[in-house]
């Protein structure tokens, strides 16, 4: 979980960090044709090679019908991983927002019993974090990570909803090991709840550091060397007074 490079569709670009965007919508259907590299849009992101794209790759990440009966619409986004692959559905719409102003992050997953990897794995959330805010240390500070397996049992052959911003929801920090196995505030627990994070770091902001805006990513791959297949749908993002959308992923 490293600092992202500003590599967009094979070309290097410098993207300025801007204040929180004005964006409001509900019940938005997202198909491959709706993807864009714009600041308020969704796109695919290869976290190994730091490349953003709007193009599906069959057998890796693509919009599909099903499986079973999604809670919204008829389709979802399917991920398939082998080795060190890390595929994401990503957006920069939260760049510049304080963590305490993120009101809701929720999503649905479906794990088939034919998944080649561990039955405890599911698509998870991570986003770039600046613990002391944009006016403090702007060096890259890693990501906050929400794993479904930390927050319940991952069912097989069933659609499940995950609410990552419940006060009791458990999160990890990608750089805790390199920081002496403690959080920036000295907490030595491997996890902190969403409520604890907001209290401990009131200025924490979604940011990639420097001139790179923060990404919110729904990821498959940790990596998963034993392989992984999983589905994502009904992504909810609410922040501040401007961002409030439920995204239905469709083929």
pLDDT of residue 226: 84
> Pick from 39, 43, 68, 62: which is nearest to 53 by CA?
43
Mean pLDDT by 10 residues, the chain (251 residues): 40 37 63 94 94 96 97 96 93 95 98 91 96 85 96 97 98 97 97 98 84 84 84 97 95 95
Residue for token pair 């198909």: 31
Which helix (H) or strand (E) covers residue 200, if one does? helix 194-200
CA–CA separation, 201 vs 196, rounded Å?
8
Contact 86, 52 (CB under 8 A): no
**Strand ranges (E), 15-131:** 28-30, 42-46, 51-53, 61-65, 75-81, 87-91, 102-110, 124-130
pLDDT of residue 203: 95
**Strand ranges (E), the chain:** 7-8, 11-12, 28-30, 42-46, 51-53, 61-65, 75-81, 87-91, 102-110, 124-130, 143-146, 159-163, 170-173, 192-193, 205-206, 216-220, 228-239, 243-249
Contact 145, 1 (CB under 8 A): yes
> Pick from 141, 124, 137, 150: which is nearest to 216 by CA?
124
Could you please state the CATH topology (level 3) that the domain comprising 23-128+143-169+211-249 is classified under: Jelly Rolls (2.60.120)
pLDDT of residue 208: 66
Q: Count Cβ neighbours within 10 Å for each residue of 152-189 and write b for 16 or more, e otherwise.
A: eebeeeebbebebbeeebbbbbbbbeeeeeebbeeeee
Angle CA(123)–CA(126)–CA(127) in degrees, nearest 5? 150
Cβ neighbours of residue 168 closer than 8 Å, sequence gap 6 or more: 193, 194, 195
- Token pair of 231 as six digits: 């589905």
pLDDT of residue 9: 38
């Amino acid at each position: 979980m490293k600092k992202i490079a500003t590599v967009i569709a094979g070309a290097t670009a410098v993207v300025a960090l801007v204040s929180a965007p004005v964006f409001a919508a509900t019940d938005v259907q997202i198909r491959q044709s709706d993807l864009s590299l714009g600041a308020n849009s969704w796109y695919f992101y290869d976290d190994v090679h730091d490349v953003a794209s709007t193009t599906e790759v069959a057998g890796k990440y693509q919009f599909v019908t099903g499986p079973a009966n999604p809670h919204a619409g008829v389709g979802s986004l399917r991920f398939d991983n082998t080795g060190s692959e890390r595929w994401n559905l990503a957006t920069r719409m939260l760049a510049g927002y304080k963590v305490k102003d993120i009101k809701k992050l929720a999503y649905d997953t479906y794990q088939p019993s034919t998944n080649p990897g561990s039955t405890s794995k599911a698509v998870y959330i991570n986003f770039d974090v600046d613990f002391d805010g944009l006016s403090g240390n702007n060096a890259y500070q890693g990501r906050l990570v929400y794993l479904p397996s930390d927050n319940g049992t991952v069912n097989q052959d069933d659609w499940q909803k995950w609410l990552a911003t419940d006060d009791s929801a458990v999160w990890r920090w990608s750089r805790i090991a390199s920081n002496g196995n403690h959080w920036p505030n000295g907490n030595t627990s491997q996890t902190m709840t969403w409520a604890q994070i907001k209290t401990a770091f009131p200025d924490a902001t979604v940011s990639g550091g420097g001139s790179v805006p923060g990404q919110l990513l729904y990821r498959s791959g940790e990596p998963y060397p034993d392989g992984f297949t999983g589905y994502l749908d009904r992504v909810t993002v609410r922040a501040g007074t401007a961002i409030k959308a439920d995204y239905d992923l469709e083929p």
